[in-house]
Amino acid sequence: MTILLLLIGLALFIAGLFTWAFMWAVREGQFDDMDSPAVRILLDDDTAPSRNERNNT
């Protein structure tokens, strides 16, 4: 019984922690655009060589 009490408390604490982390991320704008970052990584990757060239010159 006591261990159940402890575990429930712990679960709620962790749930609260995650909620706080999510709230922070939303406030920071991490979730504002959920479409382009997925493509961005592909585009950036492909372009890498020419970017390096540009930086070297």
Partner 1 sequence: MQRCYHCDDQVPHGTDFTSTIRGDRAVFCCTGCQAAAMFIEDAGLANFYAHREQAQAATLRPAENKFEIYNDRDIAAPFVTQQDNQQTAIVYISDLYCPACVWLASEILQSRFDSIDVAANSGTRRLNVTWPRGSAGLGDLLRCLSRVGFEPQPVIAGQTSDPEREDYRSAIKRLVVAGIFGMQAMMLAAGLYAGEFHGMQTSTITLLRVASLVTVLPIMFYAAVPFFKGALRGLRFGKPGMDVPVSLALTLAFTASAINTLTHADAVYFDSIAMFVGLLCVSRFLEMRARHSADDQGEAIAALLPASAVRISAEGQSQTIARDHVQQDDLLAVEPGDIVAADGVVTHGAAGLDERLITGESRSVSRKIGDKVLAGTRVLSGSLTLRVTQTGAQTFLGDITRLVERAQSDRGTLQNIADRLATPFVITVLCIALVTGVVWSLIDPSRIIPVVLSVLIVACPCALALATPTTLAVTATTLAKRGVLLTQARILEVIKRHTVFVFDKTGTLTQGRPSIKAVDRIRAGFSRSDVLAIAAALEQDSPHSIAAAFEPFQDAATLADSPSTIRVGAGVSGIIDGKRYRIGHSAFVTALSATQCPDDGGIFLGDEHGIVARFEIVDALRADAIQTVRSLREQGHTVVISSGDGRAAVAAVAKQLDIESWHARHTPADKLQLVENLRADGQTVVMVGDGANDAPVLAQSDAAIAIGSGTALARASSDAIIVGESLAPLLEVIAFARRSATTVRLSLAWAASYNAMGVSLAALGWISPWMAAIGMTASSLLVVWNALRLGKTEKPESLQSTNELATPPADWPKVTP
Question: What 3-state DSSP class applies to 39?
Answer: helix
Report the site for partner 1 in 1-57 (rule: CB under 8 A): 1, 4-5, 8, 11-12, 15, 18-19, 22-23, 26-27, 29, 31-36, 38-40, 42-44, 46-47, 50-51, 53-54
Task: Render the burial of 14-48: b for 16+ CB within 10 Å, e for the rest.
Answer: eeeeeeeeeeeeeeeeeeeeeeeeeeeeeeeeeee
Note the residues at the interface with partner 1 (CB under 8 A). Answer: 1, 4-5, 8, 11-12, 15, 18-19, 22-23, 26-27, 29, 31-36, 38-40, 42-44, 46-47, 50-51, 53-54
